[in-house]
């Protein structure tokens, strides 16, 4: 596979008791272990939005590690959308 075409963007909406449990902090700490960039943010409806860009395999491993982390038990639903990357990110951050 062409390496440039392996880069993807994922937008994930996590639902459950995902606010007030250290979800954003945990996601940012986990992201530091993977070559991914993007952000995580609480949404007004109580969900958490995570946007990440990188190689598809790295993003998948990152999302798996978030799910396997202590905050993973609070996730009741994930909505995942794969898209073309925009290249707008240089790091993985917590947004407020």
Active-site annotation, residues: 24, 42
Distance CA 15, CA 61 (A): 20
Beta-carbon contacts of residue 7 (< 8 Å; ≥ 6 apart): 53, 54, 55, 56, 85
């Amino acid at each position: 596979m062409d390496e440039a075409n392996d880069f993807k963007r994922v937008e994930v909406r996590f639902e459950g008791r995902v606010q007030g449990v250290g979800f954003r902090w945990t996601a940012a700490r986990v992201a530091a272990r993977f070559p991914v960039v993007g952000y995580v943010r609480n949404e007004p409806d109580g969900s958490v939005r995570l946007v990440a860009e990188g190689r598809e395999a790295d993003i998948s491993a990152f999302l798996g590690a978030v799910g396997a982390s202590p905050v993973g038990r609070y996730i009741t639903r994930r909505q995942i959308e794969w898209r073309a990357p925009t290249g707008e990110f240089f790091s993985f951050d917590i947004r407020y």
